[in-house]
Amino acid sequence: MEVQLDNRTTLLFDWGDTLMEDTLGVPGKMCEWPQVKAMPGAEKMLQTLSQSFQICIATGAEQSTEADIRRAFRRVDLDQYIDHYFCRQNTGLSKPDPAFYQFILNELGLAASDVVMIGDHWDKDILPAAGLGMAAVWINVQGQAVDRTELAGERDRLMINVKQCQSLNELAQLLAI
C-alpha cells in the first residue's frame, strides 16, 4: 500500500542506518570516520524525491553539529539533495522527545500533515512523529514485530498513517517514485 503524498511537502529522514551506514564500534563523529557509506539506493531515491519534496535530516546524533552532518553527507555526495539538517546541537532537543519533531515543524512553518518521517527506529523515529500526526515510514530491516499494546487510544488511530518497508528500494516503491 502506497503512502499518500498528495498534500505532503516535506520528507524528514533519519540519518544513521537510514541514509548512511552507522558502523557500530567506530568512535567519534561520522564525518571523521576513515570510511563512510550511503545506504544502497539512497542517492537515486534522494535525487528523485528532491525534485518534488523538501528533504530534511532529523537525527538524534549526540556529538555531531550541523556542519559535521553536512560534511558526512558531502563525503557520499548526498548533501546536494538535503535542504535542512536538524540535530541536538542546533535544536537543543533530541529523539525520541516529541518536542524535537515539533521544533522542526515550527522551524519549517509546517503542519504535521505536511510531513512524512522516514526512519529505522520504531521508538525514536516513528512513534513520536506519528504521535504528532505525521505520516511515517518505518524502514524495518530486521522485520521486527510491533507491540500493539503500546498503541492504545489516540495513538492507535494515528498509526493508520504508518507504513513499513525493509529497504530504501522498497521505500521508493512505497512512495510510488
Helices (H), the chain: 42-49, 66-75, 88-91, 98-108, 127-131, 154-158, 168-174
Q: What per-residue confidence (pLDDT) applies to 158?
A: 55
Q: What per-residue confidence (pLDDT) applies to 156?
A: 55
Q: What per-residue confidence (pLDDT) applies to 20?
A: 97
> Which residues, in sequence order, are CB contacts of 149 under 8 Å at separation 6+?
none
Angle at 47 between CA 64 and CA 70, to 5 degrees: 15
Q: Which neighbouring-strand residues pair with 101?
A: none
Q: What per-residue confidence (pLDDT) applies to 1?
A: 47
Q: What per-residue confidence (pLDDT) applies to 95?
A: 95
Q: What per-residue confidence (pLDDT) applies to 154?
A: 53
Sites in the chain below the pLDDT cut of 50: 1-2
